């Protein structure tokens, strides 16, 4: 793609990177075939190629974002399916994140939308606040039909029952059972602590059973991806610096493990996020080199086995952040099969479920259409339950399916001697 940035604009390293990315696009259109929003809407401005043209025009001119560019960039899920498809290696992830930061800096949003975004950023990355907000949502649930559209969506997505804070999320060292093979840090996450605390519990049981010493480091918190995808790049950098310092203080580690793939993708991008910060660039790159999705570690550690008697068949949902963001496509499915589970692939497995971080809160209509499509494809597998490696996907799919939704670590923990997952227990 030909670009026309002036020298003043190119003095900004973020703009130089955007220009480099833009130049790799050859307009081929392969990305249209796998873009969920283009699939739903049929508007090229809601495809990666269309958005790239709009972002190019916005950045080249140096003008504030206009309404059309903002609308179509906002509709992007950041599912990164386009990056898997692209034959030219266009780094759409970095480009759209830069565009969102430019939009946040140059275009004031309407008061209601601005309030909602600030509310999400103030609550979700902070487990204590988020728990209180969800307790309020439980109270509001009977009156949900009277609430404005997006608040109604937020209340509908809230769990019908809140668990107490889990032992697994408290900072501490969890010793390996038997000889210690590895020492790893586990990111406890933010929303996951509140929405699916059983995932961290199963992860700690499973990893220690497989010979890992697991550290939940004091001070480690949100990975920063939530605010980054809403245009707050500096907020994301602050989260990255905080986590790097926490893990450096508690280390050394053989790996830093994320069991929410959205967080894992963010950790692997810390080197890029802080590349222009002289005090942190080298430290961030070292952390990114250590970051692993939990499935990468389990692929090395889980032995061949037999699933528990009566184990359900599993429809494996490959989270976008895992298959497109990290390039991990078959590994979690293969580990489940090695442990003895019958695993089904989901039709249209490359298409997003509509969760996409905060997308189901900020774009509820499109997210709902993608959820319904995903639910129909899951039902077509004939499986008994769904396994997904990202908390957002788990919550989104569970709100549209009648079958249990679990993280793969819950099934693997059960298969290697842990308890039956709560989601599979008979009612009562």
Q: What string of pLDDT tens digits covers the 428 residues of the chain?
A: 888 888 888 999 999 999 999 999 999 999 999 999 999 999 999 999 999 999 999 999 989 999 999 999 999 999 999 999 999 999 999 999 999 999 999 999 999 899 899 999 999 999 999 999 888 888 877 777 767 666 777 777 777 788 889 999 999 999 999 888 999 999 999 999 999 999 999 999 999 999 999 999 999 999 999 999 999 999 999 999 999 999 999 989 999 999 999 999 999 999 999 999 999 999 999 999 999 999 999 999 999 999 999 999 999 999 999 999 999 999 999 999 999 999 999 999 999 999 999 999 899 999 999 999 999 999 999 999 999 999 999 999 999 999 999 999 999 999 999 999 999 998 76
* Dist CA 122 CA 69 (whole Å): 26
Q: Please, what sign has the CA dihedral across residues 209, 213, 217, 221?
A: negative
Structure tokens at 227: 């605010």
The predicted structure's pLDDT at residue 138: 81
CATH topology for the 304-424 domain? Rossmann fold (3.40.50)
Q: Which long-range contacts (CB under 8 A, 24 or more apart) does 419-424 make?
A: 420/308, 421/198, 421/202, 422/198, 423/385, 424/312, 424/385
* Dist CA 55 CA 108 (whole Å): 17
* Dist CA 372 CA 233 (whole Å): 32
Strand, helix or coil for residue 204? helix
- Rg of the Cα trace of the chain? 21
Identify the H or E element spanning 72.
Answer: helix 67-74
All residues at 6 or more sequence positions from 421 whose CB lies less than 8 Å from its CB, including other chains: 198, 202, 404, 406, 410, 411, 413, 414
Number of H-type helices and E-type strands within the chain? 24, 9
* Dist CA 331 CA 61 (whole Å): 44
The top-level CATH class assigned to 167-298 is: mainly alpha
pTM of the model: 0.93
Which residues are paired to 212 by β-bridges?
182
* Dist CA 404 CA 426 (whole Å): 11
Q: Where are the domains of the chain?
A: 7-106, 111-157, 167-298, 304-424
Query: DSSP string covering 319-354, please?
Result: -HHHHTTS---SHHHHHHHHTT--EEEPTTTTS--S
The predicted structure's pLDDT at residue 149: 67
CATH number among 1.10.1060.10, 3.40.50.10490, 1.20.1250.20, 3.40.50.720, domain 7-106? 1.10.1060.10
Give residue for tokens 């692997």: 268
């Amino acid at each position: 793609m030909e670009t026309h940035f002036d020298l003043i604009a190119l003095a900004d390293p973020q703009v130089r990177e955007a220009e480099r990315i833009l130049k790799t696009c050859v307009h081929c259109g392969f990305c249209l075939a796998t873009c969920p929003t283009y699939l739903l809407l049929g508007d090229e401005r809601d495809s990666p190629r269309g958005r790239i043209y709009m972002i190019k025009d916005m950045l080249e001119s140096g003008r504030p974002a206009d309404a059309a560019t903002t609308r179509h960039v906002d509709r992007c899920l950041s599912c990164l399916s386009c990056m898997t498809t692209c034959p030219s290696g266009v780094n759409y992830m970095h480009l759209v994140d830069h565009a969102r930061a430019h939009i946040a800096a140059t275009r004031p949003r309407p008061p209601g939308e601005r309030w909602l975004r600030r509310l999400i950023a103030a609550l979700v990355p902070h487990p204590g606040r988020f728990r209180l907000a969800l307790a309020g949502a439980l109270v509001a649930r009977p009156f949900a039909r009277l609430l404005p559209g997006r608040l109604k969506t937020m209340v509908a997505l809230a769990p019908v029952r809140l668990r107490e804070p889990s032992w697994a999320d408290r900072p501490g060292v969890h010793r390996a059972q038997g000889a210690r093979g590895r020492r790893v840090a586990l990111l406890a996450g933010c929303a996951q602590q509140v929405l699916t605390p059983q995932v961290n519990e199963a992860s700690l049981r499973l990893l220690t059973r497989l010979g890992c010493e697991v550290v939940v480091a004091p001070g480690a918190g949100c990975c920063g991806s939530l605010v980054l995808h809403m245009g707050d790049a500096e907020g994301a950098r602050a989260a990255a610096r905080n986590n790097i310092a926490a893990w450096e203080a508690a280390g050394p580690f053989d790996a830093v493990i994320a069991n929410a793939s959205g967080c894992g993708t963010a950790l692997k991008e810390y080197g890029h996020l802080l590349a222009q910060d002289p005090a942190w660039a080298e430290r961030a790159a070292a952390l990114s080199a250590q970051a692993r999705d939990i499935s990468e570690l389990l692929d090395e550690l889980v032995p061949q086995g037999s699933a528990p008697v009566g184990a359900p068949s599993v429809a494996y949902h490959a989270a976008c952040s895992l298959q497109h963001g990290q390039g991990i496509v078959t590994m979690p499915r293969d580990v489940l099969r090695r442990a003895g589970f019958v695993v089904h692939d989901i039709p249209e497995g490359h298409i997003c479920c509509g969760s996409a971080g905060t997308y189901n809160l900020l774009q509820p209509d499109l997210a709902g259409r993608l959820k319904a499509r995903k639910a129909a494809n899951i039902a077509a597998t004939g499986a008994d339950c769904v396994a997904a490696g990202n908390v957002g996907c788990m919550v989104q799919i569970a709100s549209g399916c009648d079958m249990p939704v679990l993280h793969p670590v819950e099934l693997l923990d059960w298969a290697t001697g842990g308890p039956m997952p709560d989601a599979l227990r008979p009612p009562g």
